[in-house]
Structure 1
Amino acid sequence: MKLVLDENSTFVDVGCHVGEVMDQALKLSPNGHHFAYEPIPSLYNDLKFKYKNICEVRNVALSDYSGESDFHHVLSNPAYSGIKKRAYPKNEKIKKIKIKTSTLDIELLNEKRVDLLKIDVEGGEYGVLKGSEKVIEKFHPVIIFEHGLGASDYYNTNSEDIFIFFENIRYEIFTLKGFLKKSLPLLKDQFNNLYYKNEEYYFLAMIKV
């Protein structure tokens, strides 16, 4: 994050959870305008209190459509929660709730800048990206995203969908370690192999330079 953010940067946290990543962004960009998206009501309320007058916290699930949706709140392990119910490592206690949905293009297109976008939505990242195309085209943010087999497939998407999406907007994909080491971007076959072998879950995408 230090390589991307300055003291005035705008950070967008999609799937903020308890704010571990937002905390880092606030330290690096104390003068920035930041946005946290968290659909789980209890976590949203905690974030509103934690970040009062510091960043905008919105009780919305981001996707590629605006409206309302069922949401599977995993009470026993909230980090697994998502719009789609998926397989979990063990038996979990789940409560189905109704949540509001929106797109980043609706939410942030009129902002002055978006420098870093983090997406961690338990498999729904392709929908978030599709709903962010205008924002990405306008601001060219660096994008950190989670993507893994066992989650995205419940949304009927896979690594090829993600790769083609970024390829079409002239973005390149790196592993986080690869980006820090200034390695070459991943080729499609490399990205697919990491996905299907479950060898990496977190990636970084940025516009070709």
Structure 2
Amino acid sequence: MKLYPQLRALQSRFPALLSMKSGAQRLMRRAMKRPFERDFEVLARLKVRPGECAIDVGANRGQSIDAIRLYQPALPIHSFEPSTLLADRLRQRYGNSAAVTIHNCGLSERAEERVLYLPVYRDFPYDGLASFDREEAAGWLNAETVAGFDPSHLDVRETVCVTERLDAFDFAPAFLKIDVQGFEANVLKGGEEMLEKHNPLILLENNDAADAWLTGKGWRRLAYAGGRLQEGARGKSNTFYLSPRGSDRLTD
């Protein structure tokens, strides 16, 4: 029996389980001083210059914020989350920290209003799968990922959100993380000038379009596995990228 599909089936029927699970996982990670994804261990080697920050695109429930702070506690973080519900929860959690700023908007290649698609199964919203791409939002929940999946109980709800261009913000990023369910290339295109100027270390959820855009501009891939970075490879779920002028972003 596969565990995770069974857990998602229970979670869909008993929504309170998600809050309990998320809270328990966060407490455990903090106690053990571990990030939610091991890729973030690389941030211990990140070189940060005066005035620089981290940018977290697709903040969700704050997992990346906690991971960044674990290795770079003094680094200011700008987190972007288009869901008003999630953004409000993040503000409640991190509102007392001057180093964390929550931006309730999405990022794209242009400033406009866009529809955010949220998959809902048995009236349970899978907010971590919300996307500006409807197919991305609707496609992940299926018989392989949810035990006893019944497509008649799957709904995709629509909310109009504001998107901005990353270049519209006056940031100097040392690190940029993007996890936006298939919309990664759009985010990059809207921040082309910023990326060229500051050459941050990028951590990207694997996405073919974004990978092609970056490598086409000379950025090189690095995969993190077994505590080491492998040049030229893509990671299992996420991949790092360094620009031609950003090779000194990491210490040896």
Q: TM-score band (shorter)? A: 0.7 to 0.9
Q: Report the more deviating stretch, 42-51 or 18-27.
A: 18-27
Higher helix share: 2
- From 11, 21, 40, the equivalent of 2:83 is 40
Instruction: Work out whether 1:139 is the aligned partner of 2:198.
Output: yes
1:80 maps to a residue whose letter is L
1:116 equivalent in structure 2: 175
Cross-structure match for 1:153: none
1:81 matched residue in structure 2: 130
Query: In the alignment, does 2:241 pair up with 1:205?
Result: yes
Q: Which amino acid aligns with 1:120?
A: D
> Which residue pairs with 1:171 in the alignment?
219
Instruction: Indicate the SS of the match to 2:229.
Output: coil
Amino acid at match of 2:86: L
- State the TM-score, normalizing by the size of structure 1: 0.78
Aligned 8 A contact 2:174 2:201 in 1? yes
Shift of 1:171: 1.1
Structure 1: any 5+ residue segments left out of the alignment?
Answer: 149-158, 195-199
The answer to whether structure 1 residue 71 and structure 2 residue 123 are counterparts is: no
Highest Rg: 1 or 2? 2
In structure 2, what is the equivalent of residue 97 of structure 1? 159
- Equivalenced residues, count: 183
Equivalent position to 1:57, from 102, 110, 117: 102
Deviation at 1:103, TM superposition (A): 1.3
| Cα-Cα RMSD | 2.2
Q: Unaligned stretches of 5+ in structure 2?
A: 1-42, 143-150, 248-252
**Worse-matched range after superposition: 70-79 or 25-34:** 25-34
Q: Find the aligned partners of 1:201 and 1:143 in 2 and give their Cα distance.
A: 14
- 1:57 aligned partner, one-letter code: I
